[in-house]
C-alpha cells in the first residue's frame, strides 16, 4: 500500500465510498469529518439500482440489502378527520428484475445506517474516520497539498499541519474545500419553499407498514415514512406555501402542533424527536470538479432538491468514478491527464440530474398538484441505470458506427452495452478453469482492475490480446475468455494459460447481452467502476484504449 495517504475531507456516503475505493486499489487514505459524533437521521435514504451495482462491485451489497427495506406504499388521507384513505399508491412500483439488470428496484436505508456499513468496511483496512477534525485551510504546491487541520480534543483545539499528495472535498453543500478553491457554484436558492425534515418516534396510532400523507403541498402538507428498522421511528416532511418554517423547525412541540393542525389526527401519539432541519432548496453545481491536486465530489460539487432521490446516489457515483483513476495516477501508472476525465464525465450527468430533480420539485409543489400523480413517481430514468459516459474522450466503441450525441440519462444505455454504458450482468456462466463452478459477470468485476472480456476468435488472436494485458501493470487487468457451447470442445490448456478465467456461456446470456458477433472476435473492456470502457474488434482497438489509460500500454 502506498505510504503517503490521500486526504478526504467529509465522511458522508461520497467520502466513505471514495475512501473504500482507494483502499481497495492499494492507496492509503485519511478521512476526516468536523462533526463531533457520527450523524444520525434518515436523510438521503433512497438507494437507486445504479448505486446498488456500485455496492456489488465494492463488496458491500449484502450488508446494504440486509439492513434496507423496499419503499412502502403511501396512504393519502382526506379531511376533515384525516382518517379516510383517499388513495394508496407506490412512488416506485415494483419492477421485475431481468438478467442484465438484477437490481431493478430502489431500497430505503437511512444515511446513518448506510454510512455505518461503509465505515465497517473501511475498518477492515485499518482505516477509521477521524471525527471532530476540521480542515481550516490549505495551500497547493506542485507536488502536494499542505492542509491545516484542527482537532477538537475534548474542547481543546489542537492544530496540525500535514502534506498530502491529493485532497478531495466531500464536505457537503457548505464545503470549505470548494469555497477555498473559489469554484463557482452556479444555480439558485429557493426562498419560501423550505421543507422541515427530521425523524420522530411514534408511540401509537400509525401503521408502520405504510407512508402517510395529509394536506396539500401548495398550502400545508405533512408526510411520514417508516424507517423500517423496528424502532417505530418515522422520517417526516412538513412543508407548504403557508407554512411558518422557522417556527415549526424550532422544537418537537412545534412539529407536533403543525402535524395536528394539518392532519387533525390527535390520536397519533409522538415520542422523542431524533433530529430536525429547516431545509432550504438549493439547485447549484460547480463548473469544474478539479483544481490542481484538489477535487470536489458529492454535495460539495452539487446540491439539489430532495425530489427524485438523485443527490446521494449521484454523489456516490462521483466518488466511484474518481477513485480508480486517482489510484492509478497516484501510483504512477497513469498520466495525470486521466484525472481530467472525472469532470468531463460527471459534469453532464450532474447538469441533467439537477434539471430532472428541479422539474420534479416544481411539479410536486405547484398549486393543484395531486399526491400520487406522475410527479411523485420515482422510477424510470431516476433509477440511473441509463446514466452513461458515451461522449467521454477515454471510451472507445468500434461497433457503434458514427458517434451520436447521447443524453446523460439515456434509457437505452441500460441494456445496449455500448462503450460508456453500465456493464450489464450475465449470469449462468460456468467457470471451466475452476471445477466448473457457476458464476456471473457481476461476481467477476472488481473496483481495482479492468476486466477484459474476450468473445470468440482464434488461439492466435487470443495470444495477441493476452500479450497486451501482460504488458500492463500487475493486477490492474483481468482477462476472461467466454466461449459458447460449440466452442468449448476446442478450448485447450493454452487458453487457460492465456487468460485468468475461461467461462462457458451455455445459454448465450453474455453473447446476447454484449456486442459479440458469434463468428468473429469481439472484445469488451469493463472499467473498475462497472462502466464499459471499450468495445473493440481486435488487438489494435484494445491497445488504443489502454494507451489512453496507462502510461505504458
Please write the tens of the pLDDT for every residue from 441-498: 999 999 999 999 999 888 888 899 988 988 999 999 999 999 887 676 566 677 778 8
464 lies in the same domain as 376: no
Nearest to 442 by CA among 509, 352, 488: 509
Domain boundary among 320, 355, 383: 383
Confidence of residue 1 (pLDDT cuts 50, 70, 90): very low
400 lies in the same domain as 463: yes
Do the beta carbons of residue 301 and residue 316 sit within 8 Å? no
Return all residues near 126 (Cβ < 8 A) that are at least 6 apart: none
Confidence of residue 366 (pLDDT cuts 50, 70, 90): low
433 lies in the same domain as 304: no
Domain boundary among 222, 257, 280: 280
Residue-number span of the structural domain to which 512 is assigned: 396-547
32 lies in the same domain as 127: yes
40-50 per-position pLDDT tens digit:
888 888 999 99
Q: Return the CATH number at 208.
A: 3.30.9.10
What's the pLDDT at 2? 45
505 lies in the same domain as 413: yes
d(CA 442, CA 427): 8
39 lies in the same domain as 112: yes
Total domains in the chain come to: 3
Residue 391 resides in a domain: no
133 lies in the same domain as 227: no
Residue 1 resides in a domain: no
d(CA 379, CA 444): 28
Residue 341 resides in a domain: yes
Look up the pTM and report it: 0.94
73-111 per-position pLDDT tens digit:
999 999 889 999 999 999 888 999 999 999 999 999 999
- Report the run of H or E that residue 162 belongs to, with start and end: strand 156-164
Q: Return the CATH number at 465.
A: 3.40.30.10
Domain boundary among 353, 383, 413: 383
447 lies in the same domain as 509: yes
Mean pLDDT of the chain, nearest integer:
91
207-252 per-position pLDDT tens digit:
999 999 999 888 899 999 999 877 799 999 998 888 999 999 999 9
d(CA 343, CA 483): 37
337 lies in the same domain as 258: no
d(CA 417, CA 365): 37
Confidence of residue 372 (pLDDT cuts 50, 70, 90): low
Amino acid at each position: 500500500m502506498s505510504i503517503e495517504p490521500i486526504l478526504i475531507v467529509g465522511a458522508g456516503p461520497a467520502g466513505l465510498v471514495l475512501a473504500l475505493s482507494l483502499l481497495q486499489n492499494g492507496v492509503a487514505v485519511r478521512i476526516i469529518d468536523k462533526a463531533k459524533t457520527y450523524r444520525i437521521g434518515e436523510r438521503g435514504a433512497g438507494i437507486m439500482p445504479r448505486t446498488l451495482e456500485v455496492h456489488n462491485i465494492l463488496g458491500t451489497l449484502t450488508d446494504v440489502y440486509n439492513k434496507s427495506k423496499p419503499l412502502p406504499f403511501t396512504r393519502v388521507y382526506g379531511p376533515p378527520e384525516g382518517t379516510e384513505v383517499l388513495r394508496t399508491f407506490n412512488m416506485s412500483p415494483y419492477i421485475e428484475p431481468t438478467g442484465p439488470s438484477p437490481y431493478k428496484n430502489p431500497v430505503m436505508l437511512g444515511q446513518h445506517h448506510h454510512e455505518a456499513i461503509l465505515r465497517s468496511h473501511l475498518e477492515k483496512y485499518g482505516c477509521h474516520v477521524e471525527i471532530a477534525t476540521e480542515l481550516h485551510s490549505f495551500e497547493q504546491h506542485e507536488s502536494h497539498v499542505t492542509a491545516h487541520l484542527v482537532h477538537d480534543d475534548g474542547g481543546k483545539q489542537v492544530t496540525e499541519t500535514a502534506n498530502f499528495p491529493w485532497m478531495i472535498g466531500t464536505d457537503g453543500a457548505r464545503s470549505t474545500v470548494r469555497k477555498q478553491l473559489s469554484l463557482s457554484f452556479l444555480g439558485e436558492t429557493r426562498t419560501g419553499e423550505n421543507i422541515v425534515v427530521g425523524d420522530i418516534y411514534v408511540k401509537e396510532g400509525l401503521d408502520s407498514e405504510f407512508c402517510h400523507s395529509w394536506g396539500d403541498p401548495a398550502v400545508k402538507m405533512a408526510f411520514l415514512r417508516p424507517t423500517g428498522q423496528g424502532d417505530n421511528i418515522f422520517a417526516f416532511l412538513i412543508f407548504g406555501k403557508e407554512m411558518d418554517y422557522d417556527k415549526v423547525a424550532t422544537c418537537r412541540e412545534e412539529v407536533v402542533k403543525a402535524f395536528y393542525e394539518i392532519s387533525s389526527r390527535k390520536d397519533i401519539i409522538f415520542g422523542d424527536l431524533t433530529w430536525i432541519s429547516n431545509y432550504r432548496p438549493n439547485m447549484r453545481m460547480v463548473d469544474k470538479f478539479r483544481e490542481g491536486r484538489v477535487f470536489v465530489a458529492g454535495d460539495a460539487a452539487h446540491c439539489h432538491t430532495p425530489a427524485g432521490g438523485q443527490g446521494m446516489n449521484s454523489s456516490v457515483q462521483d466518488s466511484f468514478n474518481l477513485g480508480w483513476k486517482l489510484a492509478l495516477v497516484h501510483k504512477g501508472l497513469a498520466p495525470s491527464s486521466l484525472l481530467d476525465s472525472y469532470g468531463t464525465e460527471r459534469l453532464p450527468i450532474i447538469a441533467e440530474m439537477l434539471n430532472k430533480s428541479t422539474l420534479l420539485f416544481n411539479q410536486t409543489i405547484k398549486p393543484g398538484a395531486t399526491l400520487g400523480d406522475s410527479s411523485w413517481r420515482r422510477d424510470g430514468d431516476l433509477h440511473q441505470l441509463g446514466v452513461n459516459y458515451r461522449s467521454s474522450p477515454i471510451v472507445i466503441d468500434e461497433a457503434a458506427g458514427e458517434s451520436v450525441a447521447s443524453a446523460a440519462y439515456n434509457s437505452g444505455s441500460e441494456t445496449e452495452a455500448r462503450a460508456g454504458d453500465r456493464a450489464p450482468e450475465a449470469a449462468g456462466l460456468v467457470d471451466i478453469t475452476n471445477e466448473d463452478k457457476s458464476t456471473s459477470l457481476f461476481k467477476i468485476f472488481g473496483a481495482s482492475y479492468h476486466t477484459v472480456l474476450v468473445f470468440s476468435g482464434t488461439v492466435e488472436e487470443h495470444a495477441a490480446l493476452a500479450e497486451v494485458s501482460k504488458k500492463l501493470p500487475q493486477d490492474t487487468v483481468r482477462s476472461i475468455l467466454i466461449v459458447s457451447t460449440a466452442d468449448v470442445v476446442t478450448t485447450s490448456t493454452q487458453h487457460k494459460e492465456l487468460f485468468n478465467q475461461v467461462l462457458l456461456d451455455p445459454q448465450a446470456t453474455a453473447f446476447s447481452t454484449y456486442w459479440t458477433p458469434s463468428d468473429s472476435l469481439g472484445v469488451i473492456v469493463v472499467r473498475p467502476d462497472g462502466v464499459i470502457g471499450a468495445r473493440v474488434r481486435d488487438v489494435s482497438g484494445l491497445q488504443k484504449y489502454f494507451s489512453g489509460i496507462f502510461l505504458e500500454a
